[in-house]
Amino acid sequence: MSNAVDQITDLLSRLQSPDFYEREEAVRNLGSFREDEAVAGLVMALEDPDMGIRELAGDLLADMKGDTASRLLVSFLGNADIGTRNLAAEILVRIGSEAVQPLLDDIDNPDYDIRKFIVDVLGLIRDDRSVEAICRKLYDENPNVACSAAEALGEIGSTEAVPALIGAFESVDDARLQAAEALGKIGDPSALEKLYEFAETDDSMVQYVVLEAIGNIGQAESIDRLKKHLDHEDRTIAETALTAIINISMKHGGKFDGDLPLDKFTEFLFEGIRNHNRRITEFTLGRLKHWYSQDVMFRLLDVLDSVEDDDRERISDILRDAGPSAAVSILERFAGNTITTKLTLLDVIKEFLDDDLAQRLIGFIDDPEPDVRQKIAHLLGLSGFTGAVETLKKMCSDSVGHVRSTAYAALGWLASENEIDFLFEGLNDKYSDVRQSALGALIVVGSQRVVERFTSDLYHDDVERQRLAVTALGMIGDADVVGPLLGAIDHPDSSVRKLAITSLGRIKSIDDPRPLVLALSDESAAVRKAAVTALLDIKGQAAVQDIRALLEDTDVWVRYHTIVSIGDLGVSSYAELIIPYLGD
């Protein structure tokens, strides 16, 4: 033991060292002792000139806890240096319940600053043992101590304090606000009748806090008592009453469905949404399902840019539920929004698209955002409004490729024979996705003139155009394409030949499939395989006589494909054709 005392004595002397590292090491080592002298040394270190050492000592004391540390720290609450006082208070809070009794023992300290500190610390420790003593401090001769006592009781949240807080509200003028606030925090419904009385005060500041407290207690029956304050001439009071109602409503799952004069609070509610007030947002959006005035529509549109993604989606749903009139409102407020909001709004408009809305949309095709222009092009096509054809043709010249691509696709959904030449121009675009869209549009139009143009393109100088042409002819797929596709079986490009044969197999209605039989001798294995499939599709079992020769094909995959194709017919007699190839 004496060894420990010696060591502590040595460490205490080192605390006076001018060398930072020596003092720091001494504090660290003192933390490993539990003797009162070591604790006292750590408390002394709270006055060290270096902040790092002060905080280290504080951490060690908070970890040690214990009565000695607490009592010494309480004595520091009167320290002349505000920083040291605050540090001592902070450590006491961290020590927690073990510090309660030492704090209570000094709660009547003659220094009102110390009394206030003690009450503040007890409030933050939140230990019910301190309630009675703090209740007495509601009547402290110093108003700051009384106010702190009310606040501390609110922090502790014990219902035992409710009568004392009501008493303080009625008799301690300086602590009325804090007492009312504390009653709200405690949340005990037994305080409500008195709070309803207090809410009748002429003091608007007190009234404000009392209404807020009623809301925080959160009893549904308070709503009727709060409603009358919605008509208060002071907007702040009226809005506080509404906020209290909202808080109560949201505590009950937003289920309150009574009549409220919400039109008078539109600006307040939407300001709450804009400021990300969760409860106001939930309440307002929940009520909006039954509240579709033009003013509300415009306000919804105005907050769209301020809200989170989930709320934007909810607002979109509300706008959808509001019906076509919302779409018109949207377009009236469309231009000033961000790109995200514009895209969301266009999704809403999609639900109500008709010729009139499509006509209005045309006014926005010069939007600076390509994604917005793209979506407008899509909607114009979707609308089926043939009056948009010229607009879409203009959009096919957009500077951005994906806008042109969508404009061509949309044009296909609306276009007639008149646009065929224009759509063929799209096949010359520098971007492949635009060319593909123009191709798709021409497939949808699919008239005799389109077939003629694509037939001609089968022998275009550009091989890609040849391939697009045979793809398109295959997908147009009517009787007019059979002749050109049969002709393409002799095409110089093997991929064109293969695509032509595959398409003919799908079309099936071929009067004379002999060119396909000849294709079984094509130099390309891929073409021969396609011919096997096509002949089986067109002729069924009758094709076996034509394709059996390919069981001897030089290409293993042609042989394999032929065997599998014959096998898929499921005709047992064909087994003898295949058996010889078991040893292939």
Partner 1 sequence: MEINVNESNGVAIVYLKGRLDLSSGTALKEQIKTLFNDEKIKIHLNLSDVEFINSSGLGALVSIMKETRLRKGRLSLSNLASYVQEIFDITQLSHIFEIFPTEEEALSSYQSIKIG
- Residue given tokens 């006589």 in the structure block: 545
Please work out, in degrees rounded to the nearest 5, the angle formed at the alpha carbon of residue 577 by the alpha carbons of 572 and 582. 100
Question: The dihedral of CA 333, 335, 338, 342: what is its sign?
Answer: positive
* 134 φ/ψ angles, rounded to the nearest 5 degrees: -70, -35
Q: Tell me the window of 43-51, 248-256, 287-295, 432-440 that interacts with partner 1 (CB under 8 A).
A: 432-440
Token couple for 405:
């691509």
Q: Name which position in 286, 446, 484, 513 contacts partner 1 (CB under 8 A).
A: 446
Closest by alpha carbon to 258, among 245, 267, 269, 270? Answer: 245
Q: Does residue 426 bind partner 1 (CB under 8 A)?
A: no
How many angstroms separate the CA atoms of 235 and 257, rounded?
23
Shortest approach of partner 1 to residue 369 CB, angstroms? Answer: 19
Looking at the Cβ atoms of 46 and 507, the one nearer to partner 1 is: 507
Q: Count each helix (H run) and each strand (E run) in the chain, helices first.
A: 37, 0
Per CB under 8 A, 441 contacts partner 1: yes
Binding to partner 1 (CB under 8 A): which residues in 556-575? none
Report the residue from 100, 409, 499, 504 that binds partner 1 according to the rule CB under 8 A: 409
- CA–CA separation, 292 vs 287, rounded Å? 10
Which segment (43-51, 476-484, 489-497, 562-570) binds partner 1 by CB under 8 A?
476-484
Give the residue among 265, 336, 256 at the shortest CA–CA distance from 295: 265
Q: Which of 240, 249, 437, 565 binds partner 1 (CB under 8 A)?
A: 437
Q: Which is nearer to partner 1, 178 or 344 (CB)?
A: 344
**Contact between 403 and partner 1 per CB under 8 A:** no
* Least Cβ distance, residue 412 to partner 1 (angstroms): 6
Q: Which of residues 115-174 bind partner 1 (CB under 8 A)?
A: none
Cα distances from 60 to residues 7, 19, 40, 350, in angstroms, run: 18, 20, 12, 65
| 106-109 LR contacts (CB < 8 Å, sep 24+) | 106/74, 106/77, 107/133, 107/134, 107/137, 109/78
Distances (CA, A) of 537 to 101, 504, 507: 95, 9, 9
- Binding partner 1 (rule: CB under 8 A), the pick from 382, 526, 551, 577 is 382
Q: How far apart (Å, rounded) are the C-alpha atoms in residues 210 and 221?
A: 16
Burial class (CB in 10 A: 0-12, 13-18, 19+), 340: middle
Binding to partner 1, residues 499-518 (CB under 8 A): 506-508
Query: Which amino acid does the sequence have at 5?
Result: V
Q: Which stretch binds partner 1 (CB under 8 A): 14-22, 164-172, 388-396, 441-449?
A: 441-449
Q: Which residue bears the tokens 């402290």?
A: 140
Residue in 148, 222, 436, 533 binding partner 1, rule: CB under 8 A: 436
Is 439 near partner 1 (CB under 8 A)? yes
15 vs 409, beta carbon nearer partner 1: 409
- State the Cα–Cα distance between residues 583 and 554, nearest whole angstrom: 15
Name residues contacting partner 1, limited to 313-372 (CB under 8 A): 321, 353-354
Q: Does 498 bind partner 1 (CB under 8 A)?
A: no
Shortest distance, position 446 Cβ to partner 1, whole Å: 3
Q: Report, in Å, the least distance between residue 302 CB and partner 1.
A: 26
By CB under 8 A, name the one of 476, 519, 543, 550 that touches partner 1: 476
Please identify, using beta-carbon distances, which residue of 477 and 484 lies nearer to partner 1.
477
State the residues that interact with partner 1 by CB under 8 A: 321, 353-354, 378, 381-384, 406, 409, 412-413, 436-437, 439-441, 443-446, 471, 475-478, 506-508
